[in-house]
Chain A
């Protein structure tokens, strides 16, 4: 049976926390990438906005999103690859869940990606995002960096795992 879903690397944040998580020197030997994130931050709110920089930069990114909160739904456009994390006032010890799927990451065309993410909270207020992303650059992706858009810090046990996908 062919190996189609391979863990490239995984990291868990330590007791000091982290401002960002960076996967560098990503091999170009797969067709697609999947990044799974389990995150909680120090932002004083029930959820937080986190994003993905590519090859060391957050430039040339656009996206369209659908979002749902505890009381309302919305949509809009952004200039970042955006998803959600749980934050300081969400239920203790809960972590948001997110996934980015990046097909043809090593090709020579602009790169699209889909992402979905939720903050976790045992209360009325929580946040779910479904996003279509575009990176208008033709370079192969060799670096992905998870950052917090509100300058908060990822807390201990925040975890990110990068997988490579190929069809044989």
Chain B
């Protein structure tokens, strides 16, 4: 599919289908990379926290449900 954008002018109702400029294509790729990097960092952070939690439960010798009982 072509890299186009749809633009709706709300003041006139006119709808235009416009091919992306080279700058817009580059920006789109940069935005996607930034999102992928941010998501990878967030996923890694979540995985690290989950691993820390599992290690602590192991150290205490209790299950997650038992930990919830203790904190409840």
Q: Which residues of A contact B (CB under 8 A)?
A: 8-9, 11, 13-14, 16-27, 42, 49, 58, 74, 76, 78-80, 147, 149-151, 153, 162
Number of CB contacts from chain A to chain B under 8 A: 73
Tally of chain B residues near chain A (CB < 8 A): 26
Instruction: Say whether B31 contacts A14, CB under 8 Å.
Output: no
Looking at chain B's contact residues, the main secondary structure is: mixed
Q: Give the chain A neighbours of B2 by CB distance below 8 A.
A: 16-17
Given A150-B32, A151-B32, also A25-B9 (CB < 8 A) = yes
A23 to B9 Cα, complex, angstroms: 6
A9 to B10 Cα, complex, angstroms: 6
Interface residues of B in 1-35 (CB under 8 A from A): 1-13, 15, 17, 20, 24, 28-29, 31-32, 35
Q: Give the chain A neighbours of B40 by CB distance below 8 A.
A: none
A9 to B6 Cα, complex, angstroms: 12
Question: Is B51 part of the binding interface, using a Cβ–Cβ cutoff of 8 Å?
Answer: no
Q: Can you give 28 A-B contacts (C-beta < 8 A)?
A: A9-B10, A9-B13, A11-B15, A16-B2, A16-B17, A17-B1, A17-B4, A18-B4, A18-B17, A19-B5, A19-B20, A20-B5, A21-B8, A22-B8, A24-B8, A24-B9, A76-B46, A79-B38, A147-B28, A147-B31, A149-B31, A149-B32, A150-B32, A150-B35, A151-B28, A151-B32, A153-B1, A153-B3
